[in-house]
Structure 1
Amino acid sequence: MKKTITVIDTFGFLFRAYYALPPLKSKNGFPTGLLTGFMNFISNIGRDFQTDYLVFALDSKGDTFRKEIYNEYKSHRPDVPEDLLKQLPVAIEWIEKMGFQIAMEDGYEADDVIASIAKDAKEKDLEVRIVSHDKDLYQLIDDNKVYLFDPIKKTVVNEEKCFEKYGVTPLQFTDYQSLLGDSADNVPGVKGVGAKTAEALIKEYGSLDNIYENIENIEKTRWKNLLVEGRDLAYVSKKLVTLYTECHCIDDIDKYVLPEENPILKIADTLIEYDLNRIITKVEKDGLSYKTSVPKGYEEKTLETKKEIKTEFILLNDEKELLKIVASIPEIAIVAFDTETTDLDVRHASLVGFSFSFEEGKGYYVPIGHYYLGVPNQVSKEVAKEAIEILNKRKLVLQNFKYDYAIIKNQLGIELNLYADTMILAWLLDTSSKVGLDALALKYFDHEMISFKDVVKKGENFSNVDINEACKYAAEDALITRNIYFKLLDEFKEKECEHLIQLAHDVEFDFIYVLANMEENGIKLDVKKLEELKEKNNLHIQELKSKIYSSAGCEFNINSPKQLGEVLFDTLKLPPSKKTKSGYSTNEVVLQKLYNEHEVVPYLLEYREAFKLQSTYIEPLIEFASKDENNRIYTSFLQTGTATGRLSSKNPNLQNIPVRTEAGAQIRSVFIPKEGYKLVGIDYSQIELRLLAHFSKDKALVDAFNNNLDIHHQTAVKIFGEEEAKEKRSIAKSINFGLLYGMGSRKLADTLGISTKEAKQYIDSYFKAFVSVKDYFKSVEDGSLDNGYVETLLKRKRLFDFDSANAMMRAAFLRESVNTLFQGSAADLIKLSMIKIYKEFKNSEDIKMLLQIHDELIFEVKETEVDKITNRLVEIMENIYTLEIPLKVSKSVGLTWQELK
């Protein structure tokens, strides 16, 4: 039977261990997360895999030969976190002290050392296991001889896994990387070639050389042009990614044998200094794990066996026991936390209990406010508050933190400190997927959560639930939230987008506090004016009803599409649109086409607008305002409600009030400030066009913005000439914004009421004037198609499943990729502004942030402070991020929202 040598990609493994575990610290404050992960790995050698020989490969200090090939190689890598840097030399020192062998060669990277050992070991008829998840090592995979082993997932990566993940074989991997490049190492690749294109080219031509030998046969012009332009860098990249195999040999193989004496106990005193006592206890109890027998085929089994979720739900209704347990939790521990309440509306909800989980497979529930006959002992609010204050010093992970934050603040006066929100993390990972707890549990663990409706009877709330049943439901939420958190971290690493974890900590988690504050502030309504509007609009609706009945010659239910269709197309014989099983279509598009066919149609359109005003805005707003003694309404902002990153709002939705209609103006006029305050509106001016100038670097656009020119007038000049520019500015404006949202000639023709041919001429003229823009739009679409995603300004991703899309969906995805880039980047900028404004003014009574309507922020500002505060808001928003062109905002002050326009 072949003997096995295991080669550790030391820095790669240690870096992953650092990010996989929470930021643990010893009692004296020294970081120990990486060290803990490393020692867990050492203690599990033999359980996770068996080996005859073991060696740790390290990078040499200083530059390697690759720097001579390409000076920019690895030049753009971000700084390594200080906590990680502190632990690395300690871990390497431990390796040597434990009696393991290190392999390192001057001028070469660890990957070259690993490649050399793998080559030499194969020649000596050894099986080679490489402990790493680094894709650069995939080129070494050679089934039954060399394979990778992921120590965190405990899975083997072989030729099949390589092909499954990248669509190429290990032998083709360096050619694949030569085309694709590697942003992490600053390997250039061929500019414009993404993963899908690289895979397709390798599949068709087999190798880089063969691609260039057949360059004239490549049908796609874009691919051919990119390859021709990028030929030199492709071959430079090939040299950079190809591992050197002659820098290290293992002739004295016996020195790589595993130490006879327990290596962990050799450094026991040092481990105690770093508070890693558990590792020692584990080893003393279980002995040397690599001396125990492991069933043959263990690794293959770990690939196939589904891990059942361990669940233990513990009821904590004894106050002393509760305080004892929470006090025992290490301050560096990740603790999942959740609340149970009587209502989804935080302003009317009472706290019934809370749950938490800080160790694998265990969830605890603390009952506080259950009310039913025979309810057992519960924990008082005072003790609950004491326990939560202790938990608040740990690293709290929640699912939908904003809700629990408001509950705990309202009920107990504690402001929770968030470490991570799993809902936000899941959304960042895939903005189009479901991010609810039930959906995530099913997606990642194939686990069906206990259903709320199975626990809470109809007409009752959580306070009526038996506390033992409540324990199962609530503790499961905390336990699964904790599991999902660690699973999501793994997913970010697997998908090579750990930067999104940093984005969450830098921006998205802070933004939750901003939204919670806005929801708490609410906005005041002029209820008297609303009541007057209601009465006036109701009379208008009755008048329109009479006119419709008179014009139609009969009475019918105007709100019934079926009855309306019969009246219009059967009774009045108007030319119908296509008839379906449910009857004639009577939507707005159909009615607009019939506008001049009969006098009843304009009345119907006017009736629909008046009815919508009454039912969608006036009546709900009166109902919401009447619930509050100050007549303020409190919308809920959804951070994960859109795929682009824009906010949405609900209960009520204040982001869809029409801007340009009379109905919208009437509604906005009832939003007012409180006594002694004014409303202030700050609106980013032409933010998406400015982003277009920034991204495309089109000279005409950049110059126009840098010289503070009217961009719509400048566009009109470019398309229509100086003489017609003034009168055709509105057309230019439609083109400017329309192209950002994928508007084609047909849509532009409908918008402007012109022929498609004329609209196409306008668009062609636009692209001639702004020469870089068309190419830039194309590059965004191509990048989205190649990579399967588009990134915003802050590198937030939106994924697109082109592989399963039909032609129509594919076209929609391409439009949405452009749309997302600009809308999403605008959303990034306003988020940054909102966070900075919130942090600066959160303790001030002179200003409250009330609403965000996409590019506009609305504040309630003390009258005496309006000028000073408004100037500061403008300063913050215009300087929040440095673009190629200046950011500009417009400001307005008024006594109603409508006055801000």
Structure 2
Amino acid sequence: MPTLTLIDGSSYLYRAFHALPPLTNAHGEPTGALFGIVNMLRTTMKAGSDYVAFVCDAPGRTFRDDLYPAYKANRPSMPDDLRAQVEPMMKIVAALGFPILCVPGVEADDVIGTLALQARDAGIDTVISTGDKDFAQLVGSRVVLINTMTNTTLDIEGVIEKFGVRPEQIVDFLTLTGDTIDNVPGVEKCGPKTAAKWLAEYADLDALMAAADRISGKIGDNLRAALPRLPLSRELVTIRTDVPLDRGPADLTMREPDVDALRELYARYDFKAALRDLDIAAPTAPVAAPVATHTETSPSPAADLPVDYELVVTEERLAAWLEKIQTAPLIAFDTETTGLDPMMAEIVGLSLAVEPGKAAYIPLAHDYPGAPAQLSSDHVLAALTPVLEDPSRPKVGQHGKYDINILSRYGIAVRGLRHDTMLESYCLNATATRHDMDSLAQKYLGYTTIKYEEVAGKGAKQISFSQVDCDTACRYAAEDADITLRLHQALWPRLEAEPTLRSVYDDIEMPLVPVLANMERTGVLIDANELRRQSQHLGRRMLELQQQAYAAAGHDFNLDSPKQLQAVLFDELGLPAKVKTPKGQPSTNEEALEAIADAHELPRLILDYRGLAKLRSTYTDKLAGIVNPRTGRVHTSYHQGAVATGRISSSDPNLQNIPVRTEEGRRIRQAFVAPPGWRIMAADYSQIELRIMAHLSRDEGLVRAFAEGGDVHRATAAEVFDVAPEDVTTNQRRAAKAINFGLMYGMSSFGLARQLGVDRGEASDYMGRYFSRYPGVRQFMDDTRDRAHRDGYVETLFGRRLYLENLNSRNQAHRAGAERAAINAPMQGTAADIIKRAMIAVAAWIEPRDDVRLLMQVHDELVFEVREDAVDEVRANVETRMVGAAALSVPLQVSIGVGANWDEAH
């Protein structure tokens, strides 16, 4: 949605004056309030907005003065030091290009209120930049408040949390409490708690006034005494939304800044950081560096900063860049390597940036014929190590975990990775774009990056980066560091403006980076002989299934040929084609075979055959081949920015997809073993998403079932089928389990019927009974669906957001899918947040120890390698930290097993 930002200039001027020390410039002129305003405006500009206005009070009386002559009578006159800063403030605002609105007869609040209402009706989201509590009455689904001085945002939930009332009750709330600053009388001795309590009970001021006789005590007397003046007070605190304006929201676009005027004003008032911003943005040609540089202009309007990329091949230039990174407020860095596997790739070069548009590439191992002399790799890395390992020197990377692992293999323990642009984007909106650098640069900077294939070729003709000529490598690699820094400058203000999202980033995602990096480097020991035995076993089973399929079909055919299978199933056996390909042909994919598995034995045989073939090709045949020859272990790659709900995924191998419901799938875990003298420990959250459902829904029955510590599926079955828990049958428990988990994924009665093998009417009856016994769950699902439609997103318990673009789709299937995701995401996402918090806590406890290693994270499970003599201590401490990762209204429960291999540990 387009966004309108409305800046409450009058509010910020006063707040900055009182919040900041009495600063002066070299001429002795006061600058404290001005300094605060300028910083606030620069933050607003960096955050970006389609429309914006700086709104301030016009001189003279307003309609409120006519209504109540004593309005604001208690306010002292403006201090001289503040008055002196008003004129330069307006000059700076105008020079920056902000539209300025000052409307006689009303206050800035009324102008802002009118524009916010007009914007809402026009489909424009509004951000009101203010510190004034009165604006809470305007907050709604498309209006939020932001306080750039405290980096806090106030939405509907924030208003309720802060004031104890809904936004539409704020006017009545302010009427009751009064306003001593504006001299608006309220009810004597009625503070915020009393006002919130009354409005919770009576809903609005009119109902409260009608019931005033029933309010007992001294406060009741005060209320009755205030009744004659409350209507006037309400009118005084109500922000008008009908002010006649000569401009609407869509007319409020920024003008081009007057750079000369700004430079003069910033210099006069000693605003050095603002001056630096001007210098960085100035379209002047860069000064040529004394050695090989590459200067060119970025191709897109949104990234029109000229670039100065330097190829560092001399001691002199290395020393110059070492000095830069030792004093820089933030260092962007990136490594170039011979491959994508951080456990195998070799470093080729390293790039650095400390200000936008200026970056360096230090080649270390380019080995093509005629390559220039390069500095010694050992020497360069040794020189960079003190800065890279210094936690007090903040750094930013793009997918920094990869660079951490590469540098770790060269003896460098990177510390101080404060930011990662991949994760900044991921936390802001996981579904807005892919989170690779090329996609982020295009989306947030309007910049088209140089692609790897453009410098190294593609396919069979692709060369190693070590063979790319240094000049070309410099343009590509230095751009990586430069764009990383620019992306951070574009993304970080947006994240700062969203306190809950920033908390997810600061408290969960960034602390997790070194934990995952360490897990990847540790790897897991694999028993190759066991895998070979399993491959042979799977081969025999596949042959048996093949013979059974031939018998079921009446002749031999190629089980791996969709065309031959299609002919057998639909032409020869005459089975119904319930799923079609995009071209209208009968499909033979998994969904299609499952749909007809009850009609004939052949589809099930094919499904079983394919399952075993996938296990063999993906795991038993492959795992032994990806054992790292240096470590003797398998090292998976964990992905933080891949799953919208926050879950971690993995690849090479994909640990999340090892089946646990079949004997063959479970057997694969027997190949994940502990070294001599050590044991495998597996710690698994028990029914965590169901527990989160109980917490979020606050359903008394579900909460009670967990609090009593029994079998929750049995308890649910007892409720649904109206029998005593001890009389619950196996089928009843199975049905209850299917409902418990199915509802979290938005399962319909049709889906439940198919899973349980009953007719749709019976399944619908089961679900009806479930909701009648657990009404809080139904209410939670309805509320979540409504909230998703209103906000466009849902949140986890810790504030992670999932945006759902198909909620208003005209396609019913797409819309239904989005609604199912809306219901499930808060639970799946909260479970992801909890296990990430557990990993961070456990890793902090493990760090100084040498008797335990965190190896793997799979779904709701953590897997460790523990020295035999430390098993009991580690078990107790791991359980404590996993249970303590979240405070829910139902107890978290962790099952911990120990064995010689991963399977035994379950």
Q: Equivalences for 1:544-623 in 2 at 5 Å?
A: 544-549=545-550, 551-577=552-578, 580=581, 581=583, 583-592=585-594, 594-595=596-597, 600-623=602-625
CA distance in 2, matches of 1:563, 1:403: 45
**Match for residue 26 of structure 2?**
none
**Match for residue 453 of structure 2?**
453
**Match for residue 892 of structure 1?**
897
Shift of 1:565: 0.8
Using a 3 Å threshold, how does the CA distance of structure 1 residues 372 and 588 change in structure 2: closer, same or farther? closer
1:389 aligns with 2:386: yes
CA distance in 2, matches of 1:754, 1:843: 55
Using a 3 Å threshold, how does the CA distance of structure 1 residues 603 and 531 change in structure 2: closer, same or farther? same
Task: Letter of the 1:447 partner, please give it.
Answer: Y
Task: Letter of the 2:445 partner, please give it.
Answer: F
Shift of 1:168: 12
Cα RMSD after superposing both structures: 4.5
Give the alignment partner of residue 177 of structure 1, picking from 125, 129, 139: 139
Secondary structure class of the residue paired with 1:884? coil
User: What TM-score, normalized by structure 1, do the two folds share?
Assistant: 0.73
Using a 3 Å threshold, how does the CA distance of structure 1 residues 239 and 760 change in structure 2: closer, same or farther? farther
Structure 1 stretch 453-462 or stretch 229-238: which is displaced more?
A: 229-238
1:853 aligns with 2:858: yes
**Match for residue 139 of structure 1?**
112
CA distance in 2, matches of 1:769, 1:371: 72
1:43–1:279: 8 Å Cα contact kept in structure 2? Answer: no
Using a 3 Å threshold, how does the CA distance of structure 1 residues 866 and 234 change in structure 2: closer, same or farther? farther
Shift of 1:591: 3.4
**Match for residue 832 of structure 2?**
827
1:365–1:474: 8 Å Cα contact kept in structure 2? Answer: yes
1:326 aligns with 2:326: no
1:418 aligns with 2:417: yes
Shift of 1:887: 1.4
Give the alignment partner of residue 795 of structure 1, picking from 791, 799, 822: 799
Structure 1 stretch 671-680 or stretch 227-236: which is displaced more?
A: 227-236
Q: Equivalences for 1:690-839 in 2 at 5 Å?
A: 690-720=691-721, 721-722=723-724, 724-727=727-730, 728-801=732-805, 802-804=807-809, 806-839=811-844
**Match for residue 523 of structure 1?**
524
Shift of 1:753: 0.9
Give the alignment partner of residue 353 of structure 2, picking from 344, 349, 357: 357
Secondary structure class of the residue paired with 2:839? helix
CA distance in 1, matches of 2:86, 2:128: 31
Using a 3 Å threshold, how does the CA distance of structure 1 residues 8 and 353 change in structure 2: closer, same or farther? farther
Q: Equivalences for 1:359-374 in 2 at 5 Å?
A: 359-374=355-370
**Match for residue 495 of structure 2?**
492
2:647–2:832: 8 Å Cα contact kept in structure 1? Answer: yes
Using a 3 Å threshold, how does the CA distance of structure 1 residues 639 and 818 change in structure 2: closer, same or farther? same
1:191–1:230: 8 Å Cα contact kept in structure 2? Answer: no
Write the deviation string for residues 872-891 of structure 1: whole angstroms up to 9, x where unpaired. Answer: 11111112222212211111
CA distance in 2, matches of 1:874, 1:331: 43
**Match for residue 840 of structure 1?**
845
1:633 aligns with 2:634: yes
2:55–2:101: 8 Å Cα contact kept in structure 1? Answer: no
Identity %: 34
Structure 1 stretch 538-547 or stretch 182-191: which is displaced more?
A: 182-191
Shift of 1:794: 0.8
CA distance in 2, matches of 1:811, 1:37: 48
Using a 3 Å threshold, how does the CA distance of structure 1 residues 868 and 368 change in structure 2: closer, same or farther? same
1:96–1:102: 8 Å Cα contact kept in structure 2? Answer: no
1:681–1:859: 8 Å Cα contact kept in structure 2? Answer: yes
CA distance in 1, matches of 2:13, 2:33: 11
Q: Equivalences for 1:185-224 in 2 at 5 Å?
A: 186=160
Secondary structure class of the residue paired with 2:850? coil
Using a 3 Å threshold, how does the CA distance of structure 1 residues 547 and 192 change in structure 2: closer, same or farther? farther
Using a 3 Å threshold, how does the CA distance of structure 1 residues 862 and 238 change in structure 2: closer, same or farther? farther
CA distance in 2, matches of 1:790, 1:547: 49
1:346–1:403: 8 Å Cα contact kept in structure 2? Answer: yes
Using a 3 Å threshold, how does the CA distance of structure 1 residues 543 and 836 change in structure 2: closer, same or farther? same
1:655 aligns with 2:614: no
Task: Letter of the 1:526 partner, please give it.
Answer: D
Give structure 1 stretches of 5+ with no counterpart: 19-31, 58-91, 104-116, 131-135, 143-156, 195-225, 246-258, 287-303
Shift of 1:315: 1.3
**Match for residue 537 of structure 2?**
536
CA distance in 2, matches of 1:520, 1:228: 58
Shift of 1:769: 1.2
Write the deviation string for residues 63-83 of structure 1: whole angstroms up to 9, x where unpaired. Answer: xxxxxxxxxxxxxxxxxxxxx
**Match for residue 165 of structure 1?**
124
Secondary structure class of the residue paired with 2:475? helix
1:687–1:826: 8 Å Cα contact kept in structure 2? Answer: yes
Secondary structure class of the residue paired with 2:463? coil
Q: Equivalences for 1:208-287 in 2 at 5 Å?
A: 242-243=238-239
Give the alignment partner of residue 481 of structure 1, picking from 481, 484, 501: 484
CA distance in 2, matches of 1:571, 1:794: 56
1:338 aligns with 2:334: yes
Task: Letter of the 1:387 partner, please give it.
Answer: L
**Match for residue 184 of structure 2?**
none
Write the deviation string for residues 586-635 of structure 1: whole angstroms up to 9, x where unpaired. Answer: 2334434554655644543332222222112211112113x436642111
Task: Letter of the 2:795 partner, please give it.
Answer: E
1:370–1:465: 8 Å Cα contact kept in structure 2? Answer: yes
Using a 3 Å threshold, how does the CA distance of structure 1 residues 698 and 169 change in structure 2: closer, same or farther? closer
1:96 aligns with 2:55: no
Using a 3 Å threshold, how does the CA distance of structure 1 residues 565 and 266 change in structure 2: closer, same or farther? closer
Using a 3 Å threshold, how does the CA distance of structure 1 residues 230 and 756 change in structure 2: closer, same or farther? farther
Using a 3 Å threshold, how does the CA distance of structure 1 residues 280 and 830 change in structure 2: closer, same or farther? closer
Write the deviation string for residues 203-235 of structure 1: whole angstroms up to 9, x where unpaired. Answer: xxxxxxxxxxxxxxxxxxxxxxx9999655999
Shift of 1:780: 0.9
Task: Letter of the 1:483 partner, please give it.
Answer: R
Shift of 1:163: 4.1
Using a 3 Å threshold, how does the CA distance of structure 1 residues 234 and 866 change in structure 2: closer, same or farther? farther
CA distance in 1, matches of 2:127, 2:777: 34
Number of matched pairs: 733
CA distance in 2, matches of 1:602, 1:694: 39
Secondary structure class of the residue paired with 1:820? helix
Using a 3 Å threshold, how does the CA distance of structure 1 residues 565 and 861 change in structure 2: closer, same or farther? same
Shift of 1:497: 1.8
CA distance in 2, matches of 1:466, 1:434: 30
1:644 aligns with 2:651: no
**Match for residue 676 of structure 1?**
677
Give the alignment partner of residue 878 of structure 2, picking from 873, 877, 898: 873
Secondary structure class of the residue paired with 1:460? coil
Using a 3 Å threshold, how does the CA distance of structure 1 residues 384 and 163 change in structure 2: closer, same or farther? farther
Using a 3 Å threshold, how does the CA distance of structure 1 residues 509 and 715 change in structure 2: closer, same or farther? same
1:578–1:585: 8 Å Cα contact kept in structure 2? Answer: yes
Using a 3 Å threshold, how does the CA distance of structure 1 residues 163 and 42 change in structure 2: closer, same or farther? closer
CA distance in 2, matches of 1:865, 1:844: 10
Secondary structure class of the residue paired with 1:411? coil
1:340–1:462: 8 Å Cα contact kept in structure 2? Answer: yes
Task: Letter of the 1:310 partner, please give it.
Answer: P
Using a 3 Å threshold, how does the CA distance of structure 1 residues 550 and 281 change in structure 2: closer, same or farther? closer
Task: Letter of the 1:139 partner, please give it.
Answer: I
2:165–2:200: 8 Å Cα contact kept in structure 1? Answer: yes
1:350–1:411: 8 Å Cα contact kept in structure 2? Answer: no
Secondary structure class of the residue paired with 1:336? strand
Write the deviation string for residues 321-356 of structure 1: whole angstroms up to 9, x where unpaired. Answer: 222233134645122111111110001111111111
Using a 3 Å threshold, how does the CA distance of structure 1 residues 673 and 234 change in structure 2: closer, same or farther? farther
